Amino acid sequence: ILGELLAGVVLGLLVTSFPNLLPQFVGIGENEVFRAIFNLGMFFLMFMAGMGMRLEKLAEVSKGGSVIALGGLLLPLALGYGLGWLWLPASEYKFVQAFFLGVGLSITSIAITTKILMDLGRLRTKLGYTIVTAAVIDDIIGLGLLAILVSILEIGRMPSGGELAIMAVKILGFFLFAILAGRFIIPRIGARLHLVKTAEVEFSVALAIALTFAVASAYLGMHFIIGAFIAGLLIRERTFGERVVREIQQRVSGISLGFLAPIFFASIGLYLDLSALSMALPFTVVLILVAIVGKVIGCGLPARLLKFSNRESLAIGSAMNGRGEVLLITAAVALAAGLFEVPVPTPPIVTALFSSVVIAAIVTSILAPLGLKLFLKRESKE
């Protein structure tokens, strides 16, 4: 994953510095086909991650994962908001700009986190299950905060109590749908699919299930990657049979790791724009430091209280530090809403805010695998 991210960074720098050398890559991040491949990479990666985990194990660590997720969300949210309030110039838009920073720093990229654990062979360990559970919960709450941010940008105010209640009902509705489907519908599909014995049909049915869950989660106000992950969890050997699950996993893994995932991670680096460093270098550096400290302490301290070792706690904090595509999505939403163009005339620090956040997303995504690998290696030696 580190090589893929760095490849994207190098390519992004080349495109920015020498646009005539690689004209076909200029503005590729806005290309619809490229965005489709980017989203497919997230979809298959999360579907594969769900299939690689056991639902029972996730349930066992759900309490600890919830505590870690809460710590890793509240501290970065407060630090990000505080940084924005102290650093950004006074204006009628200061609250929402500071809130944007808080939301952005509170988010964790579950796609990056799970890929790191896969690469290190730690996905199906207690540590891996705890991290993924925390990342899923963090993502759900973080996307709820993003929905609040979008509402503020669109209607110019905080959502009412009724609007917040509707968001909560939609999220609960999705998980109720997932529970009912996993209990009554998917086992029947698995029983019939076990009799087909045609790998192509098995893969098509599994893909249809994953797409259904992805669409349902997106429709109900969450990101589609949550639905893809839940669908993967529900395709189990007990329901579909060992042979069927193995066939599906091989095809999903080939498409994901062999093609889509490398493009997905490399594409994150394409968003790098070093102009922010020249326009707001001190702010960008402080933003990155606050992002790292917020997640490492916010997740690491609860992990330590849950009896994880010092190294494991630091590993959990490091794994949750990667923000990747989720922070990029948050920044893109704010950019489209014109958050970085107000007030008029726009202060330089506000103009550079988007690029600073993108740089923070890339840096934290690069540091996450390095930190996790470092602390896990030391843990194994000790």
Q: What pLDDT, in 10s, does the model give residues 228-269?
A: 888 988 888 888 888 888 889 899 989 988 888 888 778 776
The Cα 338–Cα 152 span in angstroms is 12
From the list 45, 46, 58, the residue with the least C-alpha distance to 125 is 58
Q: What are the pLDDT digits (tens) for 47-88?
A: 887 887 777 766 777 888 999 999 999 999 999 999 999 999
pLDDT tens track for 142-185: 777 877 777 677 666 667 788 778 878 888 888 899 889 988 99
pLDDT at 85: 96
State the DSSP code for 30. G
Mean pLDDT of 102-128: 86
For residue 150, give the CATH number of its domain. Answer: 1.20.1530.20
Q: Please state, in angstroms and rounded to a whole number, the distance separating the CA atoms of residues 297 and 73.
A: 11
In the chain, the number of structural domains is 1
Task: Provide the whole-model pTM.
Answer: 0.76
CA-based radius of gyration for the chain: 21
**Minimum mean pLDDT range among 93-97, 127-131, 157-161:** 157-161
pLDDT at 55: 72
Domain with 158, as residue range(s), is 2-381
Q: What percent of the chain has pLDDT over 70?
A: 93
Encoding tokens for residue 25?
């890559």
Sign of CA pseudo-dihedral 246, 248, 253, 255 = positive
Token pair 């963090």 is at which residue?
A: 138
Tokens coding 314: 């630091």
Q: How confident is the model at residue 314 (pLDDT cuts 50, 70, 90)?
A: very high
Q: How far apart are CA 128 and CA 114, in angstroms?
A: 8
In 10 A of CB 271, how many CB atoms? 21
Q: How far apart are CA 197 and CA 117, in angstroms?
A: 32
In angstroms, the Cα distances linking 17 to 8, 11, 219, 278, 285 are 14, 10, 40, 15, 22
Q: Tell me how far apart the alpha carbons of residues 228 and 122 are, in angstroms, rounded to a whole number.
A: 21
